[in-house]
Amino acid sequence: MKKLLLLSNSKVEGFDYLGFAEEEIKSFLGKEIQDLLFIPYAAVSFSYDKYEEIVKERFERFEYRINSIHKTLNPQNAVKHADAIIVGGGNTFHLLDELYRNDLINILKAKLENGTPYIGWSAGANLACPTIKTTNDMPVVYPPSFDSLNQIPFQINPHFTDAQPEGHKGETRSERINEFLVSNPDLKVVGLPEGCILKIYDEKIELIGERKIKLFAKDQTVEEFSKDDDLNFLLT
């Protein structure tokens, strides 16, 4: 049984960092789990220590303790013994490269497939997909592979929007996703707007948030779904 909470983003107008998701995070983790392993590897322009400080302050308010993997002597053992794992946003390529460099991909897969709770936002949500190819980030580093944790059978595009500034002639996000589908026709892509969360629990998937997601598939009409719709077909 997989337990995944995948957030499009961490910051929503009118809320503190991760504040919009506070109740969902508490409900998802419950009260039995107290210690969380944090993976800050998506940070590039600021230090892992700074990232840990930000996340630690927030989760202490949620009444959880944070242990950051970058301070452990043995990252592999830290993952193996983690009660729950959280992965922050930032640069997805950097995140994946660090996971490969520390030989953590297969260990993480095994943990999540055995039911260890996982929370990821932005890059951390991309990480749960078959690949990171639908990230919005620039490839600032070159990981050994774009294959990621493959915990869900579809791709996520976090921070999804089709907004286009007046006079801007570049491709929309939808056009970029359709380019992906030309080269990856067997995958579907969920455009996950900011403020939205996908919860996968006990072989069921639920959309949390007031905005609609968009579902892209090769040679198919784009579909929209709300929190009231049954999305379990996405897991088959």
Q: Which residues are catalytic?
A: 122, 137, 159
3-class state of residue 161 by DSSP: coil
Q: How far is CA 188 from CA 75, 154, 157, in A?
A: 32, 5, 11
DSSP state of 146: S
Phi-psi region of 128 (alpha: psi -120 to 50; beta: other; left: phi over 0): alpha
3-class state of residue 12 by DSSP: coil
Of 152, 164, 163, the residue nearest 125 (C-alpha): 152
- Half-sphere exposure (CA, 13 Å, Cβ side) for 206? 11
- Half-sphere exposure (CA, 13 Å, Cβ side) for 66? 22
**In this structure, how many other beta carbons lie within 10 angstroms of the beta carbon of residue 76?**
15
